[in-house]
Amino acid sequence: MADLGCSSGPNIFLIISQVIDSIHGICQQAQFQVPEIRVFLNDLPGNDFNAIFQSVPGFFERLNKAKGKMVEPCSIVGVPGSFYGRLFPTRSLHFIHSFNCLHWLSKVPAGLKDTNKGNICITKSSPGSVIKAFAKQFETDFSAFLSSRSQELMPGGQMLLLFQGRHSQNRWTDDCIFALLGQALVDLVSEELVKEADVDNFNLPLYKPWKGELYEIIEREGWFGVGRMEISEVDWVPRDKDDAEFQSGHYLSNIVRAVSEQMISRHFGDAVTDSLFIKYATNVEDHLRHQNNGKLLNFLVSLTRK
Ligand SMILES: C[S@@+](CC[C@H](N)C(=O)[O-])C[C@H]1O[C@@H](n2cnc3c(N)ncnc32)[C@H](O)[C@@H]1O
């Protein structure tokens, strides 16, 4: 199996455990021998693969304790590279998992200089030409993703993908975690900590597709059948975090910082990031006070290689 866009946090071992549990369960029921499992962990070359590898012995120890001595070995392999191109040998995989990744494009579309003023992602005020350019980039990237995976998966192999999307073709909201980050940058312009031109020339490589777009691309590429597509709203801040000490703004700011800091500091410089994420936390706190809680739209898609 492969986990694409695995990052270097503990979620990696959660998904591997779940897959191993399922395989063990099925094999026990059918009285099959448990197969050898090889897990390929992919992310961009800058990912902290060393941190993952250092956690592997502890993971195996926990697994062996939980399952008794494992019957067959499981090996874990790092694969640096972009999932928008080929990563694995032909027909070498049975299962591909990718969570929280595919709304990130391979790049910001070219030619957007000064066109999405005051925004760093698509919002209600973004011009049609900007939306079109992002949609085109998503189409190119998602097609390349499907084409590469179609060659790497065995016939009958499965993919489980989770990523952010939007409700309908023409519904863009400002109620987006990253739109609020754009607003925090605009606030820093008025405090003269950031240049207006720098905000106008910056876009995140982010695109949230709607259902129709996905079906169209999957059908046109033709390699995969759609098993299930589930769409669910997820609270920005988990509901159970309601003790008096808990600060929603701070909580969300840390998450958004982990995902976007590198891109932000590359464009705006390191000096601005602390002020930006403090401002962002305050803005989020204000936003949530008025909105109760923000929502993300998650698409869970299962695809089978024909
Ligand atoms: C929000 S993290 C998700 C991490 C993990 N899958 C999870 O759900 O906790 C997104 C990850 O996707 C990776 N990523 C983004 N674009 C990628 C690409 N083109 N190829 C491989 N990984 C990519 C990022 O480096 C980052 O680690």
Q: Give the start-to-end residue ranges of the domains of the chain.
A: 82-305
Residue with the two structure tokens 């012995």: 57
Residue 71 is predicted with a pLDDT of: 56
Higher pLDDT, 38 or 245: 38
**82-305 CATH:** 1.10.1200.270
43 CB within 6 A, ligand 1: yes
Terminal CA-CA length for the chain: 18
How far are the Cα atoms of 19, 20, 66, 134, 241 from residue 24, in angstroms, in the given order?
Answer: 9, 6, 12, 43, 35
173 CB within 6 A, ligand 1: no
The amino acid occupying position 52 is I
Chain mean position to CA 290 = 27
Cα–ligand 1 centroid distance for 28 (angstroms) = 33
Nearest residue (CA) to ligand 1, atom 16: 104
Q: What percent of the chain has pLDDT over 70?
A: 96
The conformation of residue 158, written as its DSSP 8-state character, comes to: E
- The per-residue pLDDT of the chain, averaged, comes to 92
Residues 120, 122, 128, 134, CA torsion sign: positive
pLDDT tens for 86-115 read 999 999 999 999 999 999 999 999 999 889
132 pLDDT above the threshold of 80: yes
pLDDT tens for 256-300 read 999 999 999 999 999 999 999 999 999 999 888 887 678 899 999
The conformation of residue 2, written as its DSSP 8-state character, comes to: E
Give the C-alpha separation, 300 to 306, whole Å.
19
Mean pLDDT of 14-43: 92
Cα–ligand 1 centroid distance for 101 (angstroms) = 5
Tally of CB atoms within 10 A around 232:
11
Nearest residue (CA) to ligand 1, atom 11: 5
Mean pLDDT of 236-240: 79
Mean pLDDT of 236-259: 83
Residue 159 three-state SS: strand
53 pLDDT above the threshold of 60: yes
